Chains A and B, each alone.
Chain A
Amino acid sequence: MLRRKFNLKISISFLLITVLSIPAFAQGWDVPEAQKSKNSNVVFDAGATKEGESVFTKNCVSCHGNPGKGNFMKTLTPPPPDLAGDKTHNLTDGELFYILNTGRGVMPSFKNILSETDRWKAIAFIRSFHKGYVQVVSKTDPEKSKLVKINVSFDEKSNKVTVDVKANEKTGVVALKETEVSLFAKRRFGNLQIEKSGRTDANGVISFNFPKELPGDKEGNVELIVKISNEAYGEVESQSKMKLGIPTDVPSLTKERSMFNVMKKAPWWILITYFSGISIVIGFFIYMLLNLKKLFDLGKK
């Protein structure tokens, strides 16, 4: 059942991608005003540009190619623009940031993949190709994010995870209302988002229904990741470990001897077969060499 739903989702999104992407090609980016004017706390200096390059190489080059080189993946619809181009140049920092956060069609959303600083650094790298660009650094205080306190609690009865977001201002503790909160459970190959992202209420609180059947570690612990994003305080992430999964003891796949394991853990039978084969071969060659020696000695007489 689960798989069906999953497939359906994929098919629908593919359908949407194909249907939407064609008109989207000609479309500009519809970025909300508030986002448009957003600026970076990260200063786009040589250091940020350099780190941004490595972020870009890992995450973006496969589609966009190297800026200015025109080696983007031309088979995609719409084709990913060469980011050194004028079109990108004319977008504001806020727009670029928004595009990275939300994505569109084939362009993935990087909000939950890259940290906020890394996203800005990638933009710093893109900007290094735009002649005449001058950065306007954000007036918001980056130190403010350090004041944020995220409190995560779990209620077993209702199976709800509650996130409480506060800030320790000098004037006292303030609840961060209208703050976007996303909850993830850490899995072996990535983070599983729990429900959809939501916004905190007037008390800075939001609850998520936690699935009952999620496997945890041996004790049932699951690592939770909470990401919040607030206009004034920026993005903050917190991690915590809680007993809210089903205790599961999955032995490591590479613990036992097996065909797919490393050589040291090869099955006995194959080790024995191989090395007895080798010994027989070596034995045979020694036997032949001894015989050749004997032949040589016979001729001396």
Chain B
Amino acid sequence: MQIGLDPEQRAFARASGALAADLAAGWDRGRGPHDVGSPEPSEKDWARIADAGWPALRLREENGGLGAGTVDVAVLVEQLGRHAVAAPVLGTLVAAEQLQTLGAPAATLEAIAAGELRVAPLLDARLLDFAPSADGALAWDSAGATVAFAPDGSAHALGEPLPAADVTRAVRRPTSPVPAAALELRPPTDDDRDRLHAFVLTLLVADLLGTMSAALDAAVEHARSRTQFGRPIGSFQAVQQLAAEDLVSVEATRSAVYHSAWAVDALPAAEALRAARVAKAFASRAGVAVCEDVVQLFGGIGMTWESPVHVWLRRAQTDRTSFGDEHTHQAVLADLDLAPGA
């Protein structure tokens, strides 16, 4: 047993954190919803993302990728959440993994790995799972994507971003098919499908982890520096108790991410999916609760656009809903655990 990141993974976390912070610094929250920066990265930023190998991370070497394990990908995604990166890296990673699982041609995957082809995953209208077809589907985290593929290989152009809670990621509808870009895909085996699902849930949990821990760190910093009644507000027990429970949630979520990321590559697919559902059920609830507490700890300023607090809450709510919230996964787990003979 060895639980925790190895030195190489820690170095990768630092390097991705540095780039994520830099990308985040270039994004402008603006003065309100009407002048918030677009989540579509500039050509230059997208080139830096591609140079860092982020789109290629999980693709296998024969597909032009780096063949990284899920733990490494989770390390990156935690940093995307931590810095609330307004660029569709997560969407690209999810779409690439789906296409690789469905046996997309190497040339297509190589183009994605190199950052030349910008894709987004299609989810069903309730954001619960990958969409069975483009009908009524939503292209998730799709800012700047030029195409999204349905499981039958059909390619679809994408429309304007829809109104959305999250200001750091865009959702768009597929508009018209692009027959020339269509791919030949094959239906996945049950195991492949479960493993893909486990992978995606794990990434959402990692994004929640980064988001909630960044929010908590900011609240703790605020509680240290903000004084009321002649003392830092962090010296009041009511504040300490909220923050302490939030750290319990963050640390537990980190354990859940580590386990479910390890499980994606190490356990039989059905077990990996079960582990990922447990992690997503936990983190969906904990992540939003922490971000709500953080609003509370900031007080009035936390309710304004001038503070970044709502950006975390928006991102956490979106991660929570995407691919199923705690109730969705609790329902499946109840069926699994409570079926006669289970």
Instruction: Indicate whether A and B interact.
Output: no
